[in-house]
Amino acid sequence: MAGEAILVGDVGGTNVRFALAYPEGGRLTLSDIWKRRAVDFRGFADAMDAFLTETGAKPDGAALGLAGVVANDRVHLINSGWHVALADVRGRIGGKRLAAVNDFVAMARAAPDLDDEGLEPIRSGVRDPQGSAAVGGPGTGFGIAILRRIKAGWMVIGGEGGHQAYAPQTPLEWEVAQAMRRRGGDVSIELVAAGAGFEATRDCLAEVMGVGARAMSPGEVISAALAGDEFAAAFCRLRAATVMTAMGNLALVCNASGGVYIAGGVARHLAPWLDEPDALARFNGRGPHAPMLERFQISLIVSDAAPLLGAAHLWLDERERGWL
C-alpha cells in the first residue's frame, strides 16, 4: 500500500499487536495487523523486530500504546514485566518521530471516531459531540482515560485510575474485600475486575460463598455463568458491578456528556452482565447527581483495531499541533 505509513502498536500485559496505519483524506486504514503473545518474546524490542522483519516495513514514524506509565523516556509494563526504552525504539525506526502513550490513552483517542461496527450499546442516552468522554475498563489491567474536546481537537488525559481502592457496596462484596485483604496487599479496582486479579477474586468469592475451591479458567467461568451456574454468575456480576461503579465515578469526575466508553477484553466477556439493572444502578447511584449520570450514553468498544487507530490519531495530532 502506497503513501505515508505509521507503525502503530498496542502493547498490553497479555498480547502485543502491531500494524501499519495509512492516513488519507481524514481517515485511517490499517494493514499488516500482527498479534502475538507477550510471553513468546524476551522483551518489547524482540517483538518489534519480529514484526518489522516479517513485514519488511519501513515506517515513516511510530505510535505506541503501552500498558504502563510513560516517564523519563521509559515505560515499565507492570503486567508483562517488560521495560521499554523509547530511545531504543526510535533507533529501530531510523530516528523518525515516535509518539508513546499509555494504552488506554490510545484507546480513548479512537472512541469518538468509531462507527456502529466498533461499538455495542450498553445504554442509550444523550451524547454531546463537544462534551468530555470517559473511557475505561478491564483487560489484563484496568485502564482509564478522559477525552476533552478543545479548539485544537481532542485532548486525552490518562492515568492509573485502575489502581484506585475497591469500593464494595453489598454485604457479599464487603466479605470478598475482607477475604482479599487477609491475603495481603491493597484491594484495587484492577484486582477485583481485571485479568491480573482473576484467581484471587475467584478464590475469595468461593471462600465467601462456601462453595469450596473452584479451579475454573476465565473462559470456563463465563460459559458456566451463561449456563446458569450460581457461583460463576455471582463472579461475573461482582466484576460487572465493579466495572460500572468505577465508570460511574469516572463519568462523574469528568461530566461525561460526550459519552462513556467501556473497553478491554475482560469487559467484552462481561457484556451480558453490564447492562443488567443492578449493574446500571451501580453506574447511576450518585445521590443528587444520579439524574445527570442517567442521561449519559454508555457504549462497549468491541473493535480490536481501536487502540491501533487511536495511536495513529495521536501521532497525527502531535504532528499538526506540536503536543499531545
Q: What is the pLDDT of residue 14?
A: 87
Estimate to the nearest angstrom the gap between the alpha carbon of 162 and the chain centroid: 10
Residues 126 and 37 in one domain: no
Residues 264 and 317 in one domain: no
Residues 120 and 268 in one domain: yes
Residues 73 and 133 in one domain: no
Angle between helices 171-182 and 230-254 (to 10 degrees): 90
Structural domain for 140, as ranges: 115-302
Contact 109, 258 (CB under 8 A): no
Exposed, middle or buried, 120 (CB in 10 Å: 0-12/13-18/19+)?
middle
Residues 219 and 132 in one domain: yes
Residues 119 and 49 in one domain: no
Contact 87, 73 (CB under 8 A): yes
Structural domains counted in the chain: 2
The mean per-residue pLDDT over the stretch 233-248 comes to 98
Residue 1 has pLDDT above 60, yes or no: no
3-state helix, strand, coil in the chain (%, to 5): 45, 25, 30
Query: Is 108 within the bounds of a domain?
Result: no
Give the β-pairing of 15-24 and 27-37.
Answer: antiparallel
What CATH number is attached to the domain comprising 204? 3.40.367.20
Confidence of residue 289 (pLDDT cuts 50, 70, 90): very high
Q: Which of 262, 309, 257 is nearest to 110 (CA)?
A: 309
The mean per-residue pLDDT over the stretch 177-181 comes to 97
CA angle 165, 166, 172 (to 5 degrees): 155
Residues 298 and 309 in one domain: no
Query: Is 1 within the bounds of a domain?
Result: no
Contact 80, 196 (CB under 8 A): no
Query: Is 56 within the bounds of a domain?
Result: yes
What CATH number is attached to the domain comprising 90? 3.30.420.40
The pLDDT tens digits of the residues spanning 140-173 come to 899 999 999 999 999 999 988 999 999 999 999 9
Kindly report the pTM of this predicted structure: 0.94
Residues 57 and 186 in one domain: no
Residues 119 and 263 in one domain: yes
Q: Which of 61, 56, 59, 64 is nearest to 18 (CA)?
A: 64
Helix, strand or coil for residue 227?
Answer: coil
The Cα-based distances of 27 to 51, 234, 313 in angstroms read: 24, 43, 9
The pLDDT tens digits of the residues spanning 77-129 come to 877 889 999 999 999 999 999 999 999 999 999 999 998 999 999 999 989 99
Q: What is the pLDDT of residue 2?
A: 62
Contact 167, 285 (CB under 8 A): no
